[in-house]
Amino acid sequence: FKEKVEFVRMDDETITNFAKRTKEYLDELKAKYPDVKKVLDSQDAFRKDFAEWREIRSGVTPWPLDDYIAGKRTQ
């Protein structure tokens, strides 16, 4: 990073509230626009499949090969 960047982790309650509001908004869009529904449903299906893979990998992350060779394995 060229500029100083600060990453801030929000508390779980705030993240959950963001997720709930986002879902409400996306559900409204899906109800109005069939093409948007098709795209978002596809993305949701991908996330569900990916969630299973993420759980199976138990923290192992697919790092770039140079990082992996250097010993970086988990998050």
Tens of pLDDT, residue by residue, the chain (75 residues): 578 888 888 898 998 998 999 999 999 999 999 999 999 999 988 888 877 777 777 766 666 667 767 776 666
**Bridge partners, residue 74, by sequence:** 60
For the chain, the domains span: 34-75
Q: What is the pLDDT of residue 68?
A: 65
- Burial of 69 per CB tally in 10 Å (0-12, 13-18, 19+): exposed
Q: What is the pLDDT of residue 60?
A: 63
Query: What residue type is assigned to position 45 of the chain?
Result: A
pTM score over 0.95: no
